[in-house]
């Protein structure tokens, strides 16, 4: 694999498992040094770091709850302390909350926006302070924003805000030649995706995908690798619906 990210430093939030871990490992395969961010899954984060190091890559794990400003700021300061700079930010950490409108509590609402929206916004703020010129930011959205699914109103609302934040920040980052885009995957076959879903529901979602299969974490990681390549610098302020024809 060509090391197109040789010498680059990346933060991947929420990367101790699932899609985030796959993204981090893929960036390392392309030559980047990676910061593995986690909230509570220390064993999984350590395992991710050890796996990367066993392949000759460089990674460190940093615990930080990104809904807390002091911990979010510490994630960036520890990145600079460990690797001296920051070139790539992948805002992957997120929370899915599926409830009918009448069951959504105020706590549900604020938690969803804190994890999905607030953390992404203020991580972008830290990137503005610390990121090298010519850097890349990827914010994670969801193709559910383009659908009308019952029980997804809070989750889709929080991710829809992420897409607008991405658009509006594009011209603020442009003077530093930093691209900022959002990725909106469709149904992706992870452990968390299957929680609370019957096989019938999963098959129904599979049938909605043009290719007739669920996405994989690798599908998302490959699209991200295209957008953080310097050849893609001209793409900014966009939401890429990486979903195999889901919508």
Structural tokens at position 234: 């001209």
Helix (H, G, I), strand (E, B) or coil at 37: strand
Q: Return the sign of the alpha-carbon dihedral for residues 112, 118, 121, 127.
A: negative
155 is catalytic: yes
Catalytic residue among 38, 121, 152, 155: 155
- In which region does residue 33 sit, left (phi positive, over 0), alpha (psi from -120 to 50) or beta (all else)? beta
203 phi and psi angles, rounded to 5 deg: -65, -35
Write the CA distances from 137 to 36, 46, 65, 101, 228, integer angstroms: 16, 24, 19, 32, 8
Q: Which of 7, 132, 9, 139 has its CA nearest to residue 66?
A: 139
Rounded distance between C-alpha atoms, residue 1 and residue 74, angstroms: 33
* Residues with a known catalytic role: 155
């Amino acid at each position: 694999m060509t090391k197109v990210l040789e010498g680059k430093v990346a933060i991947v939030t929420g990367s101790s498992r699932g899609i985030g871990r796959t993204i981090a490992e893929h960036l390392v395969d392309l030559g980047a040094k990676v910061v593995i961010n986690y909230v509570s899954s220390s064993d999984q984060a350590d395992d991710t770091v050890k796996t990367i190091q066993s392949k000759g890559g460089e990674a460190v794990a940093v615990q930080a709850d990104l809904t807390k400003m002091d911990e979010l700021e510490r994630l960036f300061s520890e990145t600079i302390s460990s690797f001296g700079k920051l070139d790539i930010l992948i805002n992957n950490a997120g929370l899915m909350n599926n409830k009918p409108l009448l069951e959504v509590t105020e706590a549900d609402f604020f938690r969803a926006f804190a994890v999905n929206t607030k953390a992404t916004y203020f991580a972008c703020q830290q990137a503005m302070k610390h990121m090298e010129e010519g850097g890349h930011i990827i914010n994670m959205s969801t193709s559910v924003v383009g659908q009308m699914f019952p029980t997804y109103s809070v989750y889709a609302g929080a991710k829809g805000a992420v897409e607008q934040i991405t658009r509006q920040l594009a011209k603020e980052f442009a003077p530093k030649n930093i691209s900022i885009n959002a990725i909106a995957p469709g149904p992706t076959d992870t452990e968390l995706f299957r929680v609370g879903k019957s096989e019938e529901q999963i098959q129904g979602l599979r049938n909605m995908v043009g290719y007739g299969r669920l996405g994989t974490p690798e599908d998302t990681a490959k699209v991200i690798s295209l957008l953080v390549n310097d050849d893609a610098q001209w793409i900014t302020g966009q939401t890429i619906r990486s979903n195999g024809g889901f919508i």
